[in-house]
Structure 1
Amino acid sequence: MKPPLPRALLRDVLRGRAPLVGARFNEALPRGYLSPVEARWLLGVPYGDLSADEARYLAGRTPARDFGVMLRASVARALAPPSGAEPRVRPWIVSAHVNNLTIDQAVEQIFTPAEGSRAKLVPFVHPHALNLAARDEALSKALAEADLVLPDGIGIRLGAAMLGVAMRHNLNGTDLLPVLCKEARARGWPMVLVGSAPGVADACAEKLREAHPGLALPIVSHGFLPEAESRALAGAISRLGRCLVLVGMGSPLQELWAREYLSGAAHTVVLTVGGLFDFYSGRMPRAPLAWREMGLEWLYRLLQEPRRMARRYLFGNLLFMLRILLQKRR
């Protein structure tokens, strides 16, 4: 993924020689001091075609929309890692080593199966999961033994910045899913969905088939599985051979379930993805892009489910930051 082009000089903007909001990823368009996708780049979520997104925005720009770009870029810049932060490869954050990768690096490593007769286990972690692992020995062990631990969300990015670490990209499952589907289809890997309430994974699978014709989804199951059904499902997955399995049951259940039932599935890559199926199926609305560009996706979700999410986001985020401060002090 190419870095942005140098920004236009502010004096040229003031003299009317360059636009305040213009291109920085599209060489064919006038260079601006700010890009319409500036905030996404600063927050490590440069998903999609940034060049094309710039072109679409600039074709219909208005002063009000430009003000929104400036506001979101200012917030994103304030949330970006400080200039002295280092992009350490595998920093320890609260309760686990987290892999600090770009989107391209993460995709390449995800599609490299583990050697031997075992599965490759790849959990996504957010502050809530790391808070749980700080007091749950079984989850802590599962994260320690995972092949990759991918950072999910603005909380991880902010916590790492407080520790002097610049996280490269926010590797959340919802944004990464279309990239994984495209790669799986290109490589001929089938994809398996396991998790959420009955019907949710099926709805997610239908949307994936529409968006990615030719993507094989041979096994789709809800996540309420007793022992016998879990073992039968694990056997069916093992017989697929090389495949990508997404398990969405929430932490710590999904990490422990994947470790218990799928760790012996040779050539299989297993990602634990939390509430991904709920979002992609449309069961739960995702925060608008403007909210995500200011690092406020967590607040949008809190407003959607205040009773269920208050403890996780209000108390949990504070606890995570306190743990970051304690780690920094040590």
Structure 2
Amino acid sequence: MNIDRNLDLLFEKLDDKVKLVTFVNPFSYYVLKDGPVEVVNEIDHFFADGIFLVKLNNILYPRDKISRYSFDFTSLAPIVFNYSIENKLKVAVIGGSSEEIVRAVEVISDKYPVLNISYFRNGFFSSEAEVDDAIKNMNEKGINIVLCGMGTPLQEVFLIKCKLSLTSMNYGFTCGGFLSQIALREDYFNPIMSKLHLRWLQRAIRHSYVRKRLIKDYPKFFYRFLIERFCHQPSR
């Protein structure tokens, strides 16, 4: 699983090839790597979301340095939304609860009033039939970009299903907790925290599941990443 260094090839041109993009951190990195091989094979671009992963990678692999990218208003979201506007692309937004998705779409639409959000729904599917119905609706609306925030690996699996069945699709992006975050507060991250690369600390203070990951999952990731590096096993 290779982590992309930059965005150069991402928006190179619109063509028939669907590009799927996801973001990995110390929690999701091995969830995806150890998951079904088709998930990793079908995702076209992996970006590092989280300063810890970026710093660790750049120390251990100085010849393959990467930068941090995430899907939020401080990073990739404005690029994707402006690209969608410039190319007159139809966007679908999937994720969060029923209340959160409505509020999140309102926030995005307020910031990008000419963005064509043609379809949205919550990220909780009770059956495969519901997934199929969502894809059918997106097909009918001619959706070009699917933004999905359902958590790893559900969001990646959903985008792969869209890639295989959504005929008008050009791009698919995962966005993790972005939709839930902006539904709670548009400027979810304190600017100082973002500048100091302490967004992880802000999320840990606010959310117990983030604290659990920091205590339980991050040390496991750190140990395995080091072992793979120094035992000369492929880690990316």
Match of 1:220 in 2: 120
Match of 1:131 in 2: 30
Are 1:191 and 2:88 matched, yes or no? no
Aligned residues: 226
Encode CA deviations 1:190-242: one digit per residue, 9 max, x unaligned.
Answer: 11101111121211111111111211111010011222221011012223435
Encode CA deviations 1:63-89: one digit per residue, 9 max, x unaligned.
Answer: xxxxxxxxxxxxxxxxxxxxxxxxxxx
Question: What secondary structure sits across from 2:166 in the alignment?
Answer: coil
Match of 2:199 in 1: 297
Coordinate RMSD, CA, aligned:
2.2
Match of 1:152 in 2: 49
1:285 and 1:319 map into 2 onto residues whose CA distance is 31
Match of 1:101 in 2: 6
Q: CA deviation at 1:134?
A: 4.1
2:184 and 2:78 map into 1 onto residues whose CA distance is 15
2:10 and 2:88 map into 1 onto residues whose CA distance is 15
Encode CA deviations 1:78-122: one digit per residue, 9 max, x unaligned.
Answer: xxxxxxxxxxxxxxxxxx2111114xx26515x63443xxx4322
Are 1:282 and 2:201 matched, yes or no? no
Does the CA-based 8 Å contact 1:247-1:271 persist in structure 2? yes
TM-score (norm 1): 0.63
**For the pair shown, which has the larger CA radius of gyration, 1 or 2?**
1
Q: Which runs of 5+ in 2 are unaligned?
A: 232-236
Letter of the structure 2 residue corresponding to residue 193 of structure 1: V
Structure 1 stretches of 4+ with a deviation exceeding 6 A read none
Q: Which runs of 5+ in 1 are unaligned?
A: 1-95
Q: CA deviation at 1:182?
A: 1.4
2:146 and 2:216 map into 1 onto residues whose CA distance is 32
2:222 and 2:186 map into 1 onto residues whose CA distance is 27
RCO (CA 8 Å, sep 6+): is it higher in 1 or 2? 2
Identity %: 20
Which of 221, 224, 235 is matched with 2:136 structurally? Answer: 235
Match of 2:234 in 1: none
**Against the structure 1 CA distance between its residues 282 and 107, is the aligned structure 2 distance closer, same or farther, given a 3 Å change threshold?**
farther
Match of 1:173 in 2: 71
Letter of the structure 2 residue corresponding to residue 276 of structure 1: F
Match of 2:175 in 1: 273
Does the CA-based 8 Å contact 2:135-2:165 persist in structure 1? no
Does the CA-based 8 Å contact 2:32-2:152 persist in structure 1? no
